[in-house]
Amino acid sequence: MKITHIKVLVNCPARNFVTVKIMTEDGTVGWGDATLNGREMAVVAYLEEHIVPCLIGKDAHQIEDIWQYLYRGAYWRRGPVTMTAIGAIDIALWDIKGKIAGLPVYQLLGGKSRNKIKVYGHASGKDIKETLVNLGKLIEQGFKAVRLQCALPNTEDTYGTLGDKKDYFELQSNRPLPPEQGWNTSQYLNFIPSLFKAAREKYGMDIELLHDVHSRLTPIEAAKLGKDLEPFRLLFLEDPVTAENQSGYERIRQHTTTPLAVGEVFNTIWDSMDIISRQWIDYIRMAVTHGGGITPMRKLADFAALYHVRMAPHGAPDLSPICHAAQAHLNIWANNFGIQEFIGFGNETLNEVFTHPLSFKDGYIFLDDTPGLGVDYNEKAAKKYPYKRSYLPVTRLEDGTLWNW
């Protein structure tokens, strides 16, 4: 089944997405997500200049060989741009294979390990009171697990909060240059335990709670935070320190039993090999789009399972419905799936462009049996929403020092 055409589509239905369309000689179409938040056009160039010309005429069924060709066949390996480009091609090829076979992708992976996919939502606010109100709303919607983020006192803009924006789409699509956010580590370490103390006092211990530090701490600071949060029984503490020096997670592990999660900035199994095999984390957060596609992610799942590490894929709104669908197929298959980040199915604009096979009820995602990934992309509708350059923020300490965002 030869590949005849590949298109790279860049549009902004509520926010920027890069979508790959692969067409075969019999007219079958496969869709892939190539979105890299704030660096979208770098992936577009990589695809159009260095990948698309190499794949025309190749057999779309040879997914493993094509993946190796794009990864091992290039001297310059790894990195977010390369792996996001490869990931989009790989996802689209799995979509094609499922459609031709008349089966959903999870059946091609080996079938279901579960009937539904547990997810966690986001609750945030300008203060603890507002955060707890929003937590209560998610509990009423049926969520069994919720990530809590809260603005620090007397701070206008703290990671994980919306400020004056109505949702993540409005927040992330209006940044023509990187905005700057302030940070005070001491204030943060003193404040966050009080947020979780208040949440447990109001809603008890049955709701599972999570928190994302977003790499703002040193290992010993993160160890202290993990220790302080132990009474509140978090499902996991995400990205307490940057992942470049992974031995920092060993230091944290030595001091706290709070479960740890990391990996949304990882792009290959090699990025996570040591941190998983040494059991310094409990959940791996790599996204299928940024991790090179379905082919390497199923290998990662099997590898992580050997070390009691569960899959908890990144699920922010900068990943398109194509990525979310691909992750749903992996999640329903992988025996060591833990939980999926979920911020809803987007807004009216997004849903005008993308259709998907997912539904939500009582804290779980359900996946139907549509062949392939079950996603579709309305090219005509997408043309109404041209690309708009937008960046992620940067962070500075109070003295002006650039810090980890």
- List 10's β-bridge partners, or say none: 18
Place of tokens 């979310």: 324
Of the residues 214, 324, 329, 356, only one is catalytic, namely 214
* Cα 187–chain centre separation: 28
Strand stretches in 191-285, DSSP E: 208-212, 236-238, 260-262, 283-284
Of the residues 46, 106, 120, 159, only one is catalytic, namely 159
Exposure string over 120-151, b if 16+ CB within 10 A, otherwise e? bbbbbbbebeebbebbbebbeeebbbbbbbbb
Q: Are 342 and 314 in contact (CB under 8 A)?
A: no
Interstrand relation of 354-355 and 376-377 (parallel, antiparallel or unpaired): antiparallel
Q: Are 173 and 12 in contact (CB under 8 A)?
A: yes
Residue type, 370: T
Q: Is 75 a catalytic residue?
A: no
Q: Is 168 a catalytic residue?
A: no
Place of tokens 């008349």: 102
Segments in 254-358 forming alpha helices (H): 269-277, 294-305, 321-333, 348-353
Residues annotated as part of the active site? 159, 214
